[in-house]
Amino acid sequence: MTTHAATAAPTEHVHRDDVGSRLGMWLFLFTELILFGGMFIVYAVYRYSYPLEFQLAARELDTLLGTINTIILLTSSLTAAMSITAMQEGKKDLTLVFLGATIVLAGLFLVNKYFEWGHKFDVGLYPQSPDMLAKPVGEVLYFGLYYVMTGLHGLHVIIGMGLIGWVMRQVAVGSVNQGSFVRLESAALYWHLVDIIWIFLFPLFYLLH
Amino acid sequence: MSTPLHELPDGHEVHAHKVTYGQFFLIYLGLIALTGLTVALAGIDLGRWILVSALGIASVKTILVLNIFMHLKFEDSLFRWFVGVALLILGIFFALTFFDYAFH
C-alpha cells in the first residue's frame, strides 16, 4: 500500500471495487430468488395436492403465446448480454442499440401479457369472478398462482425496463463508459434473473397439461 | 479462480473477460432449441415424466444463462459458492416444506 501510494500520483482517490459491486448485485438477486422461491414452493405443494385440476386449468393457457413470449425474453437477454461486449469494445452507440432493443423486446413481452390477461378476463377467468368461483378449488388455486406469479414477474419486467433506461442515460452522457461500466453489468444481471424466473414460469404454467 | 482482471493505470480493476457476440449467439440458439424441445415434449403424453423433462430442460437453460449471459463462469469461484449456497437454502426450504406436508 505504501509503495503504491508512493508511486501513484497524489490525486484524489475514488474508492471503487467492481468485483464487490457485482457480488453485492448477486446477493440482491438471491433475495429475489427467495421471494419467487417461496411462491414456487406454494405452487409445488398445491400441484402435489391437486394434480388433475392443475393439468386441466393449464389447458386454458395459450401455449403458442407463452412460447412466443419465452423467445422474446430470451432474445432480450441476448441483447442485454451483447451490450456488455459492445461496451468492452468501447462502442457506445452499439451498446445503446442493444439496450434499446432490450427495452423494446421487454415492451413486446408486456403487450403480449396484456392481451393474454385481457382474454382471460373476457372469458371470465379472473380472481373472484362467478365462473372462477364455480370451478373446483384446485383450478382456483392454479389461476390465483398464475396471476400472482406472472403478475409479480411482469412487475419485475417493468422495473427492469426502468433500470436499463436509467443505465442507457448514463451511457449516453458518458458516466458509464468503457473504463467503468459496473452499473451496466448490474442492470444486465437483473434482467437475466427476470429471464430465469420466466424460464421456470413458462413450463410450470403453460406446458404441464 | 482465474478471473482475468486487468489493472487500470489508476489501480482500479475492470472486468476484462469478453464473451464475443458469436459465443452469445450460439448460447442463444441453444436456449431457443431447448425451448422448442420442451414445448415438443409437452405435446407428447409422457405421464409423470413430463414434470421431470420440463424442469430438467428449464434447469439446463438456467445453467446456460447463469454461466454465459451472467458471466458466472468467468467470475471468481467465490461467486459460484455464493450461488450454490443460495440454491441450497432454497432446496432446504423445499425439502422442509414437503417433509412437513407429508406428515400432516
Complex ipTM: 0.90
Look at residue B3 in the predicted model and tell me its pLDDT: 43
Residue B21 forms contact with A (CB below 8 Å): yes
Of A24-28, A165-169, B49-53, B86-90, where does mean pLDDT reach its minimum?
B49-53
**The three three-digit cell numbers of residue A141, written as one number:** 388455486
Residue B58 forms contact with A (CB below 8 Å): yes
CATH of region A62-206? 1.20.120.80
Q: How many CB atoms lie within 10 A of CB A151?
A: 12
Query: What is the Cα–Cα distance from B83 to B76, expressed in whole angstroms?
Result: 12
**pLDDT tens digits, one per residue of A4-48:** 444 545 566 778 899 999 999 999 999 999 999 999 999 999 999
Counted residue by residue, chain B has a size of 104
Q: What average pLDDT score do residues A175-184 get?
A: 96
Q: Is A12 exposed, middle or buried (0-12, 13-18, 19+ CB in 10 A)?
A: exposed
Closest-CA residue of A relative to B22 is: A82
Kindly report the pTM of this predicted structure. 0.90
User: Which position has the grid cell 412466443?
Assistant: A68
Residue B97: pLDDT band with limits 50, 70, 90: very high
Say which DSSP state A176 is in.
S
Residue B86 forms contact with A (CB below 8 Å): yes
Q: Residue ranges of the domains in chain B?
A: 5-77
Of A66-75, A111-120, A124-133, where does mean pLDDT reach its minimum?
A124-133
Contact between chains at B51 and A209 (C-beta distance less than 8 A)? no
